[in-house]
Structure 1
């Protein structure tokens, strides 16, 4: 263990190696979680290095290293950029050996990518793993590999699930002797709470702004449900504006074509494209309400936690993961998954009831504190301590 006295209150600074299964070239929840978690550990004085597939980009932190190789496969309703073949294993294991880490943190080691590779090492440091994926129903392809994964994952000392939904998936193949704990994804609550609203995105009682954030080309992100609900709401509230952040404006336009959106509705949609973290926080802070219409494949619901931290009233589909984040809807208005009519009803209720919006804003703000990085990092460090003991 590397000693650094007087750094961020830490008497013993750890040297931590983190391996991500997905390329940082493409934005994603796991990549963002790893990036932000590493940043939090470094603020506390720990030494952190990250290894991931793909190539370096100009905006990558210096502590993120890549193997310059990746390929894309469809996975859990999205596209995953992985690295598994040729010298991927050798390169990963060399990175681990050269790193001299006190502990190795693997993310989704069940995935055929770099985080899978160190598990065969006999000279690896203690290993812990975080399981993010929630896949229901459990796919037949994974059933075929259950026995293999149970044996292959046996070197793990501790496992972290980001939610109960992720635990249900991972329990199919995680060895019983591995210690387990549920620790949610983290957010920096103050970052969202202190963001300044963008006047161009702010709504008013006469013209509320209703937001969506996500990749419009991925069915599971639910943009079609959002657009269909917007069409219904627009008929009753023609001045409402629908602000859309994220990749896929062309896909979004095709969706509006498919639902028969008229010129009036189209003029109320504003596509903002991919936004920076700072603008994402301003986005949440500016909206009259935020809608999370995801239809599946969500293990946690980080966007809900972020919006709640910004004090934005949230409307969300009733996925198990979202029910957990919102404490069964006590801090958000839930609607029946894939039901655009029910989604539109929730939008309408909040437009017509400012007191309800304020109540959800306050409840969400309080709930979001459970996901603050200060709490999450403390809990992960306790898992590290167990693995090192």
Structure 2
């Protein structure tokens, strides 16, 4: 039976970061299945999806190692107008959430509407953990309105339990595997010019400087393959620092800035897609995106979120702390290019992960949660 579903998200849909990708990818699959999908969001001017309802202005803050936008108080009349115009069967809230937007939507929601909350966050440090617990206390009353809870990884599930004292089912982030494969179909790799790709925000937590440190070590130790070149895609406050470090390397490093439509082709061109993120990552949607695009191998910093996503594959994971981190990543890059048998075996294991992350499989499980939430409301 078709449902009317409202994704509730405090942030904007103007920029497709991790949570935005999550709700847009699932929402488009739900729409394809015949459901009526809406987005009740923070300040948004150029949404990539229809039925977007901006409910507040947003301001930028720094939290959990990232810059993020939080909503100013949403007007009750605006919320009531959207809820009155659409008889929502499900409100799907992205958590943790602000009391100023999502919290107010939950207060105004019809008692007949099922509510699902998906947790996306991991604690990067003690301050983030304390802040999460404080937010959990502030939202305690509206938490009672939630019928079913999802976490995108075991790391996010631990955060939900520690801060909001809720437990639920783990359903991973979705990737449209076929779309990434189709977009990358015509990409080619040059065996004479091995290619390393980093894609992500240029902030400390994502680790772009760690990759450049590894390239610098590889040059000093003379272990990098001939013709190696590096592409860094993304933007952020470390851009100038990254460019300065790259200018001191012999290895060519190209900075592309933010990419979107060409992301799959860029990842497909990589012999090695490397993501040296520090703790604070919940899942790492870019990891299955790189695998789905056909990158030769995908290497991930050994933080708890990435370890969960890569299912603990020690060949795919490399240390992100300690004195040997640059050496180990440089040696792993060399092996991925110089040892085809090892690289092929790792690539094959990584491809096997995609069945659990494909959007169709993920959406099947989300629909099951929706059915339970509706049943909970009708008891």
Unaligned runs of 5+ in 2: none
Q: How far off is 1:116 after superposition?
A: 2.2
Residues 146, 45 of structure 1: alpha-carbon distance in 2 compared, 3 angstrom cutoff: closer
Partner-residue secondary structure (3-state), 1:379: helix
Residues 92, 187 of structure 1: alpha-carbon distance in 2 compared, 3 angstrom cutoff: same
Distance across 1 between alignment mates of 2:201 and 2:92: 28
Residue number in structure 2 paired with 1:168: 158
Q: How does 1:31-180 map to 2 (within 5 A)?
A: 31-57=20-46, 60-67=48-55, 69-85=57-73, 87-121=74-108, 123-124=110-111, 125-138=113-126, 139-176=129-166, 180=168
Distance across 2 between alignment mates of 1:271 and 1:113: 38
Distance across 2 between alignment mates of 1:215 and 1:371: 22
Q: How far off is 1:352 after superposition?
A: 1.8
Distance across 2 between alignment mates of 1:14 and 1:221: 37
Q: Is 1:232 equivalent to 2:217 in the alignment?
A: yes
CA contact (8 A) 2:204 2:238 kept: no
Residue among 235, 242, 250 paired with 2:230: 242
Residues 253, 42 of structure 1: alpha-carbon distance in 2 compared, 3 angstrom cutoff: same
Q: How does 1:312-327 map to 2 (within 5 A)?
A: 312=295, 313-327=297-311
1:211-231 per-position Cα deviation (integer Å, ceiling 9, x unaligned): 000111x11010110111122
Residue among 195, 198, 201 paired with 1:209: 195
Residues 326, 63 of structure 1: alpha-carbon distance in 2 compared, 3 angstrom cutoff: same
Q: How far off is 1:34 after superposition?
A: 0.9
Residues 333, 295 of structure 1: alpha-carbon distance in 2 compared, 3 angstrom cutoff: same
Distance across 2 between alignment mates of 1:367 and 1:94: 43
Runs of 4+ in 1 over 6 A off after TM superposition: none
CA contact (8 A) 1:151 1:175 kept: no
Q: How far off is 1:122 after superposition?
A: 6.0
Residue number in structure 2 paired with 1:287: 270
Partner-residue secondary structure (3-state), 1:381: helix
Residue number in structure 2 paired with 1:308: 291
CA contact (8 A) 1:21 1:109 kept: no
TM-score, normalization: structure 1? Answer: 0.87
1:162-199 per-position Cα deviation (integer Å, ceiling 9, x unaligned): 000001111123355xx611100101112222322444
Partner-residue secondary structure (3-state), 1:264: coil
Alignment size in residue pairs: 364
Q: How far off is 1:67 after superposition?
A: 2.8
Distance across 2 between alignment mates of 1:165 and 1:119: 25
Unaligned runs of 5+ in 1: 1-11
Residues 346, 128 of structure 1: alpha-carbon distance in 2 compared, 3 angstrom cutoff: same
CA contact (8 A) 1:223 1:293 kept: yes
Distance across 1 between alignment mates of 2:249 and 2:372: 60
- Larger RCO, structure (CA 8 Å, separation 6 or more): 2
CA contact (8 A) 1:153 1:175 kept: no
Partner-residue secondary structure (3-state), 1:171: helix
Q: How far off is 1:349 after superposition?
A: 1.8
Residues 26, 133 of structure 1: alpha-carbon distance in 2 compared, 3 angstrom cutoff: same
